[in-house]
Amino acid sequence: MNHNELARKLKEGPAVFGVIGLGYVGLPLALEFAEAGIRVVGFDIDPVKVAFLRKGDSYIQQIPAGRIKPYVDGGLFEATGDLDRLGEVDVIAICVPTPLDGHRQPDLSFVEATSRDVASRLKKGQVVILESTTYPGTTREVVLPILEEGSGLKGGSDFFLAFSPEREDPGNKDYRTRTIPKVIGAMTPAGLNLVKVFYDRVFEQTVPVSSLEVAEMTKIFENTFRAVNIALVNELKMLALRMGVNLHEVIDAASTKPFGFMPFRPGPGLGGHCIPIDPFYLTWKAHEYEFSTRFIELAGEINTGMPRFVVERTAEALNRAGKPLRGSKILILGISYKPDIDDMRESPAVPVMEGLLERGAKVDYHDPYIGKMPATRQTDLRLESIPLKDYAELEAYDAVVIVTNHSDYDYREVVRRATLVVDTRNATAGIPNGGSVWLA
């Protein structure tokens, strides 16, 4: 099949889309293409996920089963753990994790392993798109050599390689995958054209850029921008608390300026797969060019230190009440990384809870979306959400720490029932509290 024939097939023909990794990025992407009438084969190494999807069930709270089952029953979406079926697809999207290792350096093991799996099954004419967030140069310097060596094929002529960063925002009701502009960078102009015509079938807007590295840098820049600004407000929050000033009120007032200001909110630390991780990918890559990203590194220090600040603030609040942190019963409200979702990736609740436990506190949690705290690569606290029926349960605790401001909570009842509230999200703003609420 020549390039023109492949372009026609991807633009309007019966092309098949393969998505490797059916998590918070891969599953929404796969479903968008299935909803557009394009057959999708989804691949995942987790047999539990595959079993769920084959029955039309969901394991992600914000993706209801009703959005999956019609396409499973209609044959437009199929989940499998059999990577040998990659030969059936025309376009392969790699949506696997890119975490940090124990030394806060990039861990590309999932990308590398998946690239080897693809390489051993790659055939001429296929398009491979890396969607996992990573540092500029990964697609060309890491993925391309693995694909060429493992397949014996030549990138840019035998197969086509691109990078298109995911821009998922779990729980955001204003945007969905297809309505978020899709940035695309490719190894060659021909590859860029192929990805664009294929993604144009689903996405409302595609944004082609000049190279793989520009596309990779775009996502890193977006999240570094947020991380740096969040670090700024986190630092100012700590100062404002010492000064007796409510920074949230300051931000509200500053937001009335119709130009030159963008509001960011402080919190207990960064969460989610991207913002706490991506800046460190860029910082690591910068060392190759003998360049120190001092601004980014300082922001990282501030943000990663916020859970420790919450622990210290809780200890201070208890001390003012005549109680030591050691032996105190602490209830954490909300452990997902953002409100109203079941995603715990990089949640600041974990280091907050660990810090409290290390100081001798007895810690429980409640989260309406997470019944059992999942193990992570770094920790396994083996905790389950306590029942919370009428908020009377709060009276048994020395302090309640609001880490995630879920909309499900009645914060007036939280303030009324709890002896002491440490509020990291300003969730109790405007509620009379008699001095029982501490901002953190």
State the catalytic residue, choosing from 96, 187, 274, 333: 274
Instruction: Specify which residues 80 forms β-bridges with.
Output: 43
Let me know if 95 is a catalytic residue.
Answer: no
Query: Cβ–Cβ contacts within 10 Å for residue 137, how many?
Result: 14
Q: Report the alpha-carbon distance of residue 232 to residue 299 in Å, rounded.
A: 7
Taking a C-beta distance cutoff of 8 angstroms, is the pair 164, 195 a contact?
yes
Please give the backbone phi and psi of residue 329, each rounded to the nearest 5 degrees, phi first.
-95, 120
Amino acid at the residue 34: A
H or E, element range at 163: strand 160-163
How many other CB atoms are found less than 10 A from the CB of residue 407? 9
DSSP character at residue 401:
E
Alpha carbon distance 407, 129 (integer Å): 37
Strands (E), 175-300: 182-186, 206-208
Q: Measured between alpha carbons, how far is 382 from 364 in angstroms, rounded to an integer?
A: 11
User: Three-state DSSP class for 362?
Assistant: strand
List of residues 6+ apart from 176 with CB closer than 8 A: 28, 32
Contact at 8 Å (CB) between 315 and 357? no
Helices (H), 305-410: 306-320, 349-358
Q: How far apart are CA 177 and CA 173, in angstroms?
A: 11
The enclosing H or E element of 219 equals helix 212-243
Residues 6+ apart with CB under 8 A from 113: none
CA-CA distance, 120 to 92, in Å (whole number)?
A: 14
Paired residues of 384 in beta bridges: 372
Count of residues in the chain: 440
- The one-character DSSP state at 67 is G
Q: Rounded to whole angstroms, how far apart are CA atoms 131 and 164?
A: 5
Catalytic positions are 274
